Structure 1
Amino acid sequence: MNFLKTAMLLAALTALLMVLGYMFGGAGGAMIALVVAAGMNFFTYWNADKIVLRMHHAREVDAATAPDFYGLVAQLARNAGLPMPKVYIVDTQAPNAFATGRDPEHAAVAATTGLLQMLSRDEVAAVMAHELGHVRNRDTLVMTMVATIAGAVSMIANFGLFFGGNRGNGGAAAGILAVLIAPFAAMIVQMAISRTREYGADRAGAEICGNPAALASALAKISGAAQRIPNPVTERNPAAAQLYIVPVGLSELFSTHPKTEKRIAALQAMQGSASSVRASRPSALDPLRRGRR
């Protein structure tokens, strides 16, 4: 089912590109848009992690350069039954985290320095467990591909408006219509799946770290700070906002994530339900704490 939803999402975004191509270049424009979309899908599939990490100027860390953070992710990956992902830190005060990669064997997780400084160790563990939940649920590929293609929809719409006016009043009207509708249509298609995936990653993250309350607390802290502290990446590329555990720079109507309050309420319900959380599992931090005694 997850594969089918992913295929439908990418097909819808590709169709949007073809419609824009047809509006600005007729049948030939539609074919060019199809070729561009196919090329983007293929390139992004093999380079999803590199695209996102380069966008954020992320630096890779290991057990020598960031022993606590790396060891924490390693323990969480074992809890989740996942291969060890690559671990990155993004040097920015904007508190957030994300995961990327085409599959669990080629995954990477990243946290900002702002997030690591703001949250407690339990909260950091819960956030990274959420990101590993995305990896385990195989969300990371489509999240990156959607960010790339949705960005292309907006780019082509603006390109068509600039050049479409030369085809007379009809071309100018079509260009204006495309600029107004296409980006919103891309967001609507995108958020149709993204919102359900965030709930799934929250649930998986709570199970992996064994502490839904810590994830709820982290979401509350990140949500408040993320709106106050500028994020240079989303300022350059708004489509990147959907990659984060808490998105920034998007109105509620077009947000790819559910309301933070609803996510917190769902996690609080998990905390109170012994059947939803593996109560017998020790905290993901326990092995690290024992090692530091």
Structure 2
Amino acid sequence: MVGHNGLKLRMALAGSILFGFYAALAAAVMWTFGTGTTVLALLLLGSVGFVGFQYKFGKWMALRSVDAEDMPEQSNGRYDYARIQQSTEQLCREMDIDKPRLMVAEMGVPNAFAVGRKGAGVVVISKEIIQLLDHDELEGVIAHELSHIKNRDVVIMVLGQSIASMVGIVVQWAYILGGERNIATYFAGMILGTIAQMIVMIFVMAISRYREYVADNDAATYTRNPDAMARALEKISSGAQGKEMKGEDTVNALCIFGSSGSFLQKIFSTHPPTEKRIERLRSKNSSY
């Protein structure tokens, strides 16, 4: 059993901050439309419905954006699917979770991602990553993705993105409806809404980067092979250079590898620097 008090604490802190944003949003709505029971009920139902829709639609869209297909149980000439299925079953027993639905996709780059929750998870593996990595390295990648499902950290991402969207929408229309009805007011409202959404997303991205470290650590722990996970990240990073990923705008935050360049990109990056992830993994070698 692997404990993650650090991740739980950060998720609780992020959840509290996000609740604060939501409370401010709810107060603004009730200040505008009143504090009656009907308004409160509609606000709660609308919020739950919005989050639920984003979760379901986001999961469907992620799979659709890369044209993911169910992974065959049997191997073929190019891909040893049977061995991947067996390794995943073994890792799931080690991690005490139900085996997720395994899917494959041609993403244009070596990558993988997980969506869903425990009992209803999906792990998508690119055909490029299967061709690129040795089997022990691929096991590390699969364990990393299973960790996201086991730790339920996708939930805080969905919640954060939903609240960020709601805050952005409310700020945008509050400005538009409160000002003069012209094009300048409309565009100013859009800009303010985007800025408000970005402010909320800073907190979400900070959690996203930390959860990648946790998933790397889990992969090293459950495979007992941190060096394989480190080698996988090196190969994935090198293999993605100069290539465009299919569905990048939709699934980049979910993938095992995400690039960041400028200072602003690093602030809003969903992944920590790859070299730091590799350094952490290599420092664990002496423990195994």
TM superposition shift of 1:255: 0.6
Q: Structure 1 CA distance, aligned partners of 2:258 and 2:147?
A: 17
2:71 is the counterpart of 1:74 = no
TM superposition shift of 1:27: 2.3
Report SS of the residue matched to 1:167: coil
1:220 corresponds to which of 230, 234, 241: 234
1:27 corresponds to which of 24, 29, 32: 32
2:275 is the counterpart of 1:270 = no
2:118 is the counterpart of 1:113 = no
Q: Structure 1 CA distance, aligned partners of 2:111 and 2:17?
A: 25
Q: Structure 2 CA distance, aligned partners of 1:156 and 1:228?
A: 39
* Percent identity of equivalent pairs: 31
What is the match of residue 246 of structure 1? 257
What is the match of residue 53 of structure 2? 43
What is the match of residue 58 of structure 1? 68
Structure 1 unaligned residues grouped into runs of 5+ = 280-293
2:200 is the counterpart of 1:186 = yes
Q: Structure 1 CA distance, aligned partners of 2:141 and 2:129?
A: 9
Letter paired with 1:115 = I
TM superposition shift of 1:169: 9.0
Kindly tell me: are residues 211 and 13 of structure 1, through their superposed partners in 2, closer, same or farther at Cα, counting changes over 3 Å? farther
Q: How many residues align?
A: 267
TM superposition shift of 1:211: 0.8
Q: CA deviation digits over 1:180-237, x for unaligned, max 9?
A: 51242133021121122111111111111111111111112222333421123124x4
What is the match of residue 286 of structure 1? none
Q: Structure 2 CA distance, aligned partners of 1:153 and 1:99?
A: 26
Q: Structure 2 CA distance, aligned partners of 1:64 and 1:247?
A: 30
What is the match of residue 140 of structure 2? 126
Q: CA deviation digits over 1:264-284, x for unaligned, max 9?
A: 111011112x2xxxx4xxxxx
2:99 is the counterpart of 1:89 = no
Letter paired with 2:103 = Y
Q: Structure 1 CA distance, aligned partners of 2:109 and 2:172?
A: 29
2:5 is the counterpart of 1:7 = no
Kindly tell me: are residues 118 and 164 of structure 1, through their superposed partners in 2, closer, same or farther at Cα, counting changes over 3 Å? farther
Report SS of the residue matched to 2:73: coil
What is the match of residue 36 of structure 2? none
TM superposition shift of 1:132: 1.2
Kindly tell me: are residues 144 and 18 of structure 1, through their superposed partners in 2, closer, same or farther at Cα, counting changes over 3 Å? same
Asked whether the 8 Å contact 1:16–1:182 carries over to 2, the reply is no
Letter paired with 1:118 = L
TM superposition shift of 1:53: 2.2
Report SS of the residue matched to 1:224: helix
What is the match of residue 149 of structure 2? 135
TM superposition shift of 1:122: 1.4
What is the match of residue 213 of structure 2? 199
Q: Structure 2 CA distance, aligned partners of 1:153 and 1:48?
A: 18
Q: Structure 2 CA distance, aligned partners of 1:92 and 1:161?
A: 40
Q: CA deviation digits over 1:53-103, x for unaligned, max 9?
A: 23432111242363122222122212222221111112222221111112x
- Could you tell me the TM-score, scaled by structure 1's length? 0.74
Letter paired with 1:192 = A
TM superposition shift of 1:136: 2.0
TM superposition shift of 1:50: 3.6
Q: Structure 2 CA distance, aligned partners of 1:245 and 1:12?
A: 30
Q: Structure 1 CA distance, aligned partners of 2:185 and 2:72?
A: 54
Letter paired with 2:16 = M
Asked whether the 8 Å contact 2:164–2:198 carries over to 1, the reply is no
